[in-house]
Amino acid sequence: MDFNTRVLDRSHSKPVVVDFWAPWCGPCRVLGPTIEQLAEEQRDRWELVKVNTEEEMDIAQQYRIQSIPNVKMFHKGEVVAEFAGALPRTAILNWLDENLPDKRKEGLEQLLKDVRAGHAGAVDKLRGFVKENPDLVEARLALAQQLIFSQPEEAEALVADIHLGDKQGETAEDVRLLAAFMRHPADESPAGRQLTKAQEALQKGDMASAVKAVIEATTADKSYADELPRKVAIALFRSLGPDHPVTRDYRWKFDMALY
């Protein structure tokens, strides 16, 4: 078969899903009709190409097919997603929804680059994008993360229907926790005073000072408000990511504060 034309070249116009199979493979005979039916139902979104590994050994070797069935999604000439085994229809649908290229997601990525770069009006543009695409969970979550410390109620509302167990569930839970923290009432206990400092620093965008204050609160009273300082610190580090300078500078200090 002309793999370059049917798959690599075609994938620049429309995603191509390749089903690597063989006639002797029992699971392939289970998967085949299901994925063929889905390809017909969603022919406006992607195309299916079936590759018999017995007849196309060079192609199977090139793409390191060690077990079948093996399904790979090609976009712009590259493999962007894959799975092995005879997945049920629902699982394949989820795989397609998660991995098929989406022009909206490409637009979102550009918006997020502008937000991260601090471009004027970028957050307002993101809010407008979310209004136009309320079903795009990634967009709502990204906007919520931008609003946690300035407008916690709006941030919470944006992630209200994203639950633990969902793909973005853990991140949404962090948004809810941090939004609740921003409304936590002040008190004069040592831990409470430090958390008030952290709230004020977060409102100003001073992440390093906020994390430092949360660590001080953890040191002062680990059990304060159902371990709120510990939970806030973990949520902040997760939101920043392991490579952020604040995480690198303060994560070890937080770990020491716990023990």
Question: Residues 180-226: pLDDT tens digits?
Answer: 999 999 999 999 999 999 999 999 999 999 999 999 999 999 999 99
- Which pLDDT does position 254 carry in this prediction? 97
- Which pLDDT does position 107 carry in this prediction? 87
For residue 166, give the DSSP letter: B
Q: How many residues does the chain have?
A: 259
Indicate if the alpha-carbon torsion angle 159, 162, 163, 168 is positive or negative.
negative
- Which pLDDT does position 98 carry in this prediction? 85
169-182 vs 137-147: helix crossing angle, rounded to 10: 30
> Within 10 A of 248 (CB to CB), how many other CB atoms are there?
11
Catalytic-role residue among 16, 25, 178, 191 = 25
Does residue 28 have an active-site annotation?
yes
pLDDT in tens, 14-65: 999 999 999 999 999 999 999 999 999 999 999 999 999 999 999 999 999 9
pLDDT over 90 at 105, yes or no: no
- This prediction has a pTM of 0.69
| Selection from 152, 208, 206 nearest residue 179 by Cα | 152
Catalytic-role residue among 7, 16, 18, 28 = 28
pLDDT in tens, 1-24: 899 999 999 999 999 999 999 999
Q: CA 257 to CA 216: how far, in whole Å?
A: 8
Tokens of residue 30, six digits? 């289970």
Which part of the chain is CATH 3.40.30.10? 3-99
What CATH number does the domain located at 3-99 have? 3.40.30.10
3-state secondary structure of 222: coil
